[in-house]
Structures are given as structure tokens and as C-alpha cells.
Amino acid sequence: MRKVYNLALEVRTRAWLQRQERVSYNDTSAMLSQWKKAEELAFLSEVSSVPLQQALRHLQAAFSNFFGGRAEYPRFKSKKRSRKAAEYTRSGFTFRGGKLTLAKMADPLSVVWSRPLPEGVVPSTVTVSRDGAGRWFVSMLCEDAGVRPLPVTDAAVGIDAGLSSLVTLSTGEKVANPRQEHRDRARLAKAQRELCRKAPGRGANREKARRKVARIYARIADRRRDYLHKLTTRLVRENQTIVIEDLVVSNMMGGRLARAISDAAWAHMRFMLQYKAAWYGRELVVVDRWFPSSRLCSACGSIRAHLPLNVREWTCGCGQVHDRDVNAARNILAAGLAVTVCGGSVRPHRSTPERPRSVKQKVQPAREGIRPVRAEEVKSK
């Protein structure tokens, strides 16, 4: 799949740079038949054509996003860093009696299912993938009739994300930060030192050391994902309206707290809240990132000029004593409810002008002898 994706990307890039021609998905699909006849690419005929065609469709989607201004120019997939996955549509597999057989396979896959599929459901897409730790996974795309909107409730909650507590709710509850990466930091550091001592190359010992590091990372990621799933499911089930801040996590990753912020996985938590709220008929409201939730008094509405991060409790001029995180969560909830009532995007107390987004496109060089393609250059033709 990676090989076909890279071949098609190289053909499309060369065609544009040398002849200003656009190569469509249908053109690359026809080229695939010719590639299979080449002696050096004969191995492509040993696998089903379905995942190969899917790779070409993914490339077409990447170009559509590029020309639509939603993404950068497609990059070549690395053999080491890219995700190893093959996607099969309905014509590329059979699923009967709980057994999955892929195209060009005589026997069904030996799969340990995490849970059974809903009764009477037939998967439309099957994706077989392998992670960096060498573990194989099978994921199925299907319609689950059990996912339906929950009964409507009047409950609403504001959420303030943090590090000492993963989230603080407007109700005053603080959810502990499990610090999943910190728990395995010593073991991870030891494994990484062992990897650094292995000479780079194709040696088996270096690969074993790399797998050991990858398994530790996978263990950390699995624990973090499980914890976030339980937390977000609980928040969605208990509340009709959930209000969060529009945090730009990527902008926070350059400071001394980058490792702790990465371990907290705020962006992943927001993503889970988004799709679960859509599943269960809940409303997720995102307030502006410049909203002074921590410095605003939730009792009288006055704003404190400065509030350093080390100040966890402060007293307003009106005499109200605030816990920094609980006060922020309550203000976030109030701002989110204002959004639901007034509509649009309510941005209260904004004092910092919005910066224009950069339209500069960074493009990975295609191959030796091929210069990068700029978005402006392609769109101007």
C-alpha cells in the first residue's frame, strides 16, 4: 500500500512539474495494472487489488484536501514512520459466523475479538494494521443500532483542563491526572538508553531494542486512551451541555511543560467529546481561547489584572475566595451557556486581537531531482 501510494504521488508530481498536467485517480488506477506487469513490482500481484485501490483513493482525497486549502501537499510515506495498514472494502473480504477471511487468503484470520459485532450487522470496511510494537489489529466499520441519542437532561457542566487535575468541573469536582507517561518514565528512559547503544543499521539487536521502546509507548498510550474513554463517556452521559475551552495545544508544546501537556492529551479528550456528543445527542460548546476564565470573578464579574500560574487560590475585591480551577470552570460554563442562548460565537472580554492564520504551505520534497510544489504555484495554473 505504501509503495503504490508513493508511486502514484511521484507520477502526479512529475506530471505537474514537467508538463503542467493533472493526473486523476482513474489515470493512476490504469497505471496500477501496468505496474503489476513490471518485473521489479511483480509482488503487487500477490496481494488483493482492493487495498491497493484504496491507497490510490486516499491519495486522491489528500490532493482534494490540498486544492481545497484544508491540508498541505501530500507527502511520501516513510517505510519506518508511516502507519502499516491495509483497508478492504466489501468486495475484499468475507465475514461469516464471526470469522474474517480476506481476499486471496485460504483460511480465516485468527482474531481475538475485543467485543462481538451487533447482531445482524455486516461490516462495510475492514482495516488490518500493525503498530510500532508489532501488534496486529483488525478494525471494522459498521452501523451500530445501539448508538442512539440519550434522554434529554437539564444538566450542564463547564470543564477546565489542567495538569495537577486533568479536568476541573464547574460542580467543584476535580478529576485526578493519572500521569500515565510519568509512571513508566524510568523504564522508558532505560529502554531508550539501551536503544541508543545499539549501532544503527539492520541489526537484530537494535530492532529488539526498538520494539522494547515501542511496547512501553504502546502500554502508556493504551492506559491513557482507556482512562479518557471512561471519563468522556461519563461526562457525555451525565450532561446535556458540555462547555470547554478552545485550547491550541500545539502552541503550548514549546515550553518546559510540554511533556506534561502531551501526557494529559487534551486534544484527544476534546476529540472524544466531539464525536460522543454527536452520537448521543449532546451539545458541545467551545468558548474562545482568549476568554479570561481564571482571572474573571464568577461572583461579581470583575477581572484581575494578573494571575501567575503558581497562584492556585485568590481573593476578589468583593471578598469572594476562589479556587483558581473551579472558578475557571464556572466561568467557562457561563460563557458557554451565553453561546447557546445568543447563538454564533460569543467572545466576552476579548482584549488580544486575533492573529491571521498563516497560509504558507510546507511541502516535503518528492524525490531527488524534483523540487517541492507550492500551493500558490499549483492553484495559479
Give the catalytic positions in this structure.
160, 245, 325
What are the residues whose beta carbons fall under 8 Å from the beta carbon of 217, sequence distance 6 or more? 132, 133, 188
Assess contact for 88 and 36: CB atoms under 8 A.
Answer: no
The alpha helices in the chain, defined as continuous H runs, are 2-19, 25-37, 49-67, 180-183, 185-197, 204-238, 258-264, 266-279, 324-342, 375-379
CA-to-CA distance for 242 and 240, rounded, in angstroms?
A: 7
- At residue 248's C-alpha, the angle toward residues 242 and 254, to 5°, is 140
Cβ neighbours, 10 Å, residue 236: 22
Closest C-alpha to 337, from 168, 151, 170, 167: 170
Assess contact for 8 and 76: CB atoms under 8 A.
Answer: no
Burial of 166 (0-12, 13-18, 19+ CB in 10 A): buried
**Helix-helix angle 2-19:49-67, to 10 degrees:** 40
Q: Write out the three cell numbers for 376.
A: 500558490
CA-to-CA distance for 358 and 381, rounded, in angstroms?
A: 22
Q: Write out the three cell numbers for 353.
A: 486581537
CA-to-CA distance for 22 and 372, rounded, in angstroms?
A: 16
Q: Which residue has the cell 478492504?
A: 88
Assess contact for 2 and 51: CB atoms under 8 A.
Answer: no
Backbone Cα Rg of the chain: 25
CA-to-CA distance for 39 and 60, rounded, in angstroms?
A: 26
